[in-house]
Structure 1
Amino acid sequence: MVNFKRKQETIISAGIDIGTSTTKLIISRFSLMNVAGTTHVPRIEIVDKEILYKSPIFRTPLTDPSTINVAEVEKIVRSQYAKAGIEAAQIETGAVIITGETATKQNASEMLHYLSSEAGDFLVATAGPDLEGIIAAKGSGAYDYSGRSGKVIANIDIGGGTANIAVYKNKVLLGTCTMHIGGRLIEFNGQQIMSISPPVQRLLTERDMPLQVGDSAQAAGVQLVTDCMAESLARILKNDVHMQDEVLLLGHRPNWNEPIDAIVFSGGISECMYSHEADDIQQANYNDIGILLATTLQRNATLQSFTWLEPMETVRATVLGAGTQTTEISGATIQVAPHELPLKNVPVYHYDFQTDLQKGLEHFGTAIKTAIDMFDATREGQNFALYISELPYMGFRDIQQLATAIMQVMDQRPDPDQPIVLVLQSDHAKVLGQTLVAMNVRQSVICIDQINVDHGDYLDIGRALDSGVVPVVVKTLTFHSA
């Protein structure tokens, strides 16, 4: 066995959060080490994370209400790289997160993919309200607290346009929910209402509340709106959804089953509660309902029935999670084709062998045809990663049989010369990958393990590091609509 030295290796990560109200960036350095003994199979893990640079908080630049100003966002990112003393080429992992109402802008996807190419060699584009809530929970400390306490913790990340809820127990995700609750859903111009967002307009119509653009910022209807938001949020957290709450739901209903013990608020509204960013936040203060909403939430009797925990981070929770919590490290005994890396935005298809190799192989070909139809319906050559789970104990002949089946089904792809990308639940990556190579498979092979992934996810796989592992980011590219 190769003798892996117990020495540290470092990689640089960037997190960029482009939200409804604010844009911010964080640069981190990860230290990797083989934590297995010298006589054991190497296991490379992230053993330390150091934050090198936190940017100021910038107002998210828009060219008009429905379009992000890509050039200005890029200018912010590049100026902050310069202040951090980091070049884009040094960035090996991380995430660009587009959050809240900004994800509904018409050029959101275009901007993210542009940044993922231009702002770093292996910087990925990520979006979606459920994932946003998950990342914020890790950045706020709620995720870690659920592990230390064993309690059910809900993190509620509220920014300019949405409240993203992620519920954890013992660091296991129990469920998520997203609501139209945020500071910029009603904006003011001086002492008058300048804009009312479509979700709030629907709320006003359903509740028959008189409030419109041009009314006074002190109109009673403004307080009524924040009262409705607080009451709806409290019912959602209790998993007691009323018909009147549907107007504020974005996507699915709450999907956790255990009662919540404690709540953590993060995001810009949390900053209005806790003032962690006393100086920096001033340049991102706006004329909207943010402060009123924060006060209303703090006074709501049902919300006060939960235990409240102060977050480690408020407005920076999502960017901290994006920059320090999205990267996983593959197993050390893997097979990769270095010239094919990095790979970005590879969709995942999950095939479960249910611990029966022969029965699984009977349906293997049909499953791969389904994957091709799903990811490459127009036959343009969209590749996918095959995640193989629940393999039984396998001898060498079994490995050869599986390798043969993989070679046959991968030749069915519209562009069969693309790399074969495999993710294994079990530690078979190196032996399966090497078997494919020994059988003179004509495609490049990328075969990794020790990564938590599932059907419907997307993968970014970075360049192989000195220790033989690859950094991997598992994500979703789902954009919600207004």
Structure 2
Amino acid sequence: MASRVETLLSAGIDIGTSTTKLVISRFSLMNLAGGTHVPRIEIIDKEILYRSPIFRTPLLSATTIDMIAVDDIVKSEYEKAGVTSDQIQTGAVIITGETATKQNAEEMVHHLSEHAGGFLVAAAGPDLEGIIAAKGSGAYGYSKKTGKSVANVDIGGGTANIAVYQDGRLTGTCTLHVGGRLIEFEDEQIKSISPPVEKLIRQEGWTVQIGDSKYHPDVQKITRRMATVMANVLSKSMTMEDEVLLLGHPPQWSGDVDVIVFSGGVSECIYQLEEENASLAVYDDIGIELASALRREPGLQHYEWKKPNETVRATVLGAGTQTTNISGATIQVESSQLPQKNLPVVEVSFEYETAVGLAKLQSSVEEAIAIYDPGGEGQNFVLYLTDIPYLKFRDIQSIAKKLIACRRLKPDPLQPFIIVLQSDHAKVLGQTLQALEPEQSILCIDQIDIEQGGYMDIGQVLQSGVVPVVIKTLTFHS
């Protein structure tokens, strides 16, 4: 008998420093295991059904997003796409760049994730942003296909997010204060200079300030310096002076980068892949000068430059098509307890020894409660069990007994106990837990690999018996 294909609709919504855009996709899921084998449900196809125009991100002030205007954009674009929010079963609302620093950023993404779809998740944070953009631009796929070390550099209005992949494996990330809107113009004059660039100007002893001509020679010095810092970061030869443009941690990848892919709004100034009428946003900033400085930067010339599949839409396409994972098909869940959102992830590595994992479980749960629920208010979390060895039935029983003892440490022991495994053990472990404590609500899912990000959302059970899972971060920079 042929396996039946199940489809689900996904939305990606990206609210960035400069632009807001939306994409609607359709995923096709199918059981790729034979009739006599354990089901293996996988996404076999992703089709983009609708891409919105590119809108200027609506702001009420320099520190506040216009939530009503963003809501209106989403509603009218859903209408044009011919979908309603209750048809959207997965995807992500991601808030990117400097927009994640706005006072109401967190409220905005959580509001949209609740109102724009059944299981649409809120995501933020530069590392995740870089990863999503690398998947949307094609850099991740190119690294997988060629085995090369590929750096995706996603440059928007406020930040440049770098994610390096080697052979399809994430090796590191880094974020810089490099972006098109860090200096804005109006009527041929400088209208605004962002704080990180102000710091750079003071450090270098330059004189440019608000009110000066947009053609002031220091503006070119700034874009050239941004391009040089980018080259130094990619070659991991950053100087102390470069750190003025670093946001968060320094680059952590090992080995050399072979290929660079530029995505984001500034890359559109390099490649011009969009149709002329695709953008409703009008820019008056340093984006074009920055693109030109990157093209001319000597430190970037020895890399292979690979054209992206997408420029300004890389992040929104990644959010709409690349954030959803599908669990294993042999899982133990209760539909009444789903979906679950914004669950911190606590990893416990068994280091391929059952005894090692058993010894770590209690201290890991105690630590998780101290970090995520110090007030005893019942903030739930995911226990993510990794590097599990081959398990005999006796080992499963030992792990289940230890987990039940750990559950009793929780301030609210009656809330669902959520176990996620890397390996294919969810059904047997979940059933053993249920047999030992029939009253306990158990969510036990498997075949999930967490690449980066400290939070997990778990969606409703699909017809094929799997659940969609999204791994994410929720980092709102002050």
Smaller-chain TM-score range? over 0.9
1:69 aligns with 2:66: yes
Which residue number in structure 2 is paired with residue 131 of structure 1?
A: 128
Tell me if 1:148 matches 2:145. Answer: yes
Q: Is 1:12 matched up with 2:9?
A: yes
How far, CA to CA, are the matches of 1:366 and 1:148 in structure 2? 41
Does residue 118 (structure 1) correspond to residue 111 (structure 2)? The answer is no
Measured on the aligned residues, the alpha-carbon RMSD in Å equals 1.4
Post-superposition CA distance 1:306-347 (Å, at most 9, x none) = 111111100000000010001110000001101111111111
* Alignment partner of 1:270 is 2:274: no
The answer to whether the Cα contact below 8 Å between 1:350 and 1:455 also exists between their aligned partners in 2 is: no
Q: Tell whether the 8 Å contact from 1:116 to 1:125 is kept in structure 2 after alignment.
A: yes
Q: 1:53 to 1:206 in 2, by over 3 A?
A: same
SS in 2 for 1:89: helix
Give the deviation of 1:359 after TM superposition.
4.5
- Cα distance in 1 for partners of 2:263, 2:90 equals 24
Distance 1:455 1:296 in 2: 31
CA distance 1:455–1:447, change in 2 (3 Å): farther
- Structure 1 runs (4+) deviating above 3 angstroms are none
Corresponding residue for 1:376? 373
**Counterpart in the other structure of 2:301:** 304
1:416 alignment partner in structure 2: 413
Unmatched runs of 5 consecutive residues or more in structure 2:
none
Higher deviation after alignment, 400-409 or 145-154 = 400-409
Q: Tell which deviates more after alignment, 390-399 or 371-380.
A: 390-399
SS of equivalent to 1:354: coil
Aligned mates of 2:365, 2:205 — CA distance in 1? 53
Q: Which residue of 1 aligns with 2:386?
A: 389
Residue 227 of structure 1: aligned partner: 224
Distance 1:478 1:441, change over 3 A: farther
* C-alpha contact 1:349 1:454 (8 A) present in aligned 2: no
Answer yes or no: is 1:325 the counterpart of 2:302.
Answer: no
Deviations 1:355-382 (A, max 9, x none): 3334432442232111111110111110
1:282–1:361 CA distance, 2 compared to 1 (3 A): closer
> 2:304, 2:399 → 1: CA distance?
52
CA distance in 2, matches of 1:226, 1:370: 45
Query: Which residue among 461, 468, 472 is the counterpart of 2:469?
Result: 472
1:17 and 1:96 in contact (8 A); partners too: yes
1:176 is matched with 173
Q: What is the CA distance between 1:441 and its match in structure 2?
A: 3.5
**TM score, norm. by length of structure 1:** 0.97
Residue 250 of structure 1, aligned match among 227, 247, 252: 247
CA distance in 1, matches of 2:31, 2:455: 27
1:189 maps to amino acid: E
Question: Are 1:21 and 1:160, in contact at CA under 8 Å, matched by a contact in 2?
Answer: yes
| Per-residue Cα deviation, 1:191-246 (whole angstroms, up to 9, x for no partner) | 11101110110000000011000000111011111011111111111110011100
- Which position in structure 1 is the counterpart of 2:332? 335
User: CA 1:475 to 1:282, structure 2 compared with 1: closer, same or farther past 3 Å?
Assistant: closer
Who is 1:364 aligned against? 361
1:83-109 residue CA offsets vs partner (Å, 9 max, x unmatched): 111111111110111111111111111
Q: Report if aligned partners of 1:32, 1:44 keep a CA contact under 8 Å in 2.
A: yes
Deviation at 1:46, TM superposition (A): 0.3
Indicate conservation of the 8 Å contact 1:348/1:454, yes or no.
no
Question: Does the CA-based 8 Å contact 2:452-2:471 persist in structure 1?
Answer: no
Q: 1:432 to 1:282 in 2, by over 3 A?
A: closer
Contact 1:8 1:32 in 2 (8 A): yes
**How far has the Cα of 1:47 moved from its partner?**
0.2
Q: Could you tell me which of 190, 196, 201 is aligned with 2:198?
A: 201
Q: Distance in 1 between matches of 2:234 and 2:394?
A: 52
Question: How does 1:78-93 map onto structure 2 within 5 Å?
Answer: 78-93=75-90
Cα drift, residue 5 of structure 1: 5.6
Deviation of 1:407 (Å): 1.5
Return closer, same or farther for 1:224/1:281 CA change in 2, 3 Å cut-off: farther
Q: Is the 8 A contact 1:129 1:480 kept in 2?
A: no
Q: Using the TM superposition, give the Cα deviation of residue 296 of structure 1 relative to its aligned residue in structure 2, in angstroms.
A: 1.3
Q: Shift of residue 264 of structure 1?
A: 0.8
Distance 1:302 1:365, change over 3 A: closer
Task: Quote the Cα distance in structure 1 between the aligned partners of 2:155 and 2:352.
Answer: 43
1:94 aligns to what?
91
Cα offset, 1:393, TM superposition: 2.7
Query: CA separation of 1:66/1:431 partners in 2, compared to 1, >3 Å: closer, same or farther?
Result: same
Contact 2:100 2:124 in 1 (8 A): yes
In 2, are the aligned partners of 1:407 and 1:441 still within 8 Å (CA)?
Answer: no
Give, in whole Å, the separation in 1 of the partners of 2:22 and 2:351: 43
- In 2, the alpha carbon distance for the partners of 1:358 and 1:23 equals 50
Asked if 2 retains the 8 angstrom alpha-carbon contact of 1:20 and 1:161, the reply is yes
Distance 1:84 1:115 in 2: 17
What are the Cα deviations for residues 94-153 of structure 1, in whole angstroms up to 9, with x where unaligned?
011111111111111111111111111100000100110111011111111111122111
- Counterpart AA for 1:59: R
In 2 relative to 1, CA 147–354 (structure 1 residues): closer, same or farther, beyond 3 Å?
Answer: closer
Per-residue CA shift, 1:14-38, capped at 9, x if unaligned? 0000000000000000000011112
What is aligned with 1:217? 214
Instruction: Check whether the contact 2:53–2:279 (CA below 8 A) recurs between aligned residues.
Output: no
Kept after mapping to 2: 8 A contact 1:332/1:469: yes
> TM-score scaled by structure 2?
0.97
CA 442–202 in structure 1, closer or farther in 2 if over 3 Å, else same = same
Instruction: Spell out, residue by residue over 1:381-440, the C-alpha distance to the aligned partner (whole angstroms, 9 max, x if none).
Output: 100111112333323233222212212211221111100100012211001111122223
Residue in structure 2 matching 1:31, options 28, 32, 46: 28
Q: Which amino acid aligns with 2:210?
A: V
One-letter amino acid of the structure 2 residue matched with residue 166 of structure 1? A
Q: 1:47 is matched with which residue?
A: 44
Contact 1:157 1:165 in 2 (8 A): yes
Counterpart-to-counterpart distance in 2, 1:431 and 1:282: 52
For the residues of structure 2 that align with 1:436 and 1:83, how far apart are their CA atoms?
48
Aligned to 1:427: 424
Identity over the aligned pairs, expressed in percent? 60
CA–CA distance in structure 1, aligned partners of residues 177 and 352 of structure 2 = 44
Q: Which amino acid aligns with 1:101?
A: E
C-alpha distance in structure 1 between counterparts of 2:81 and 2:279, whole Å: 21
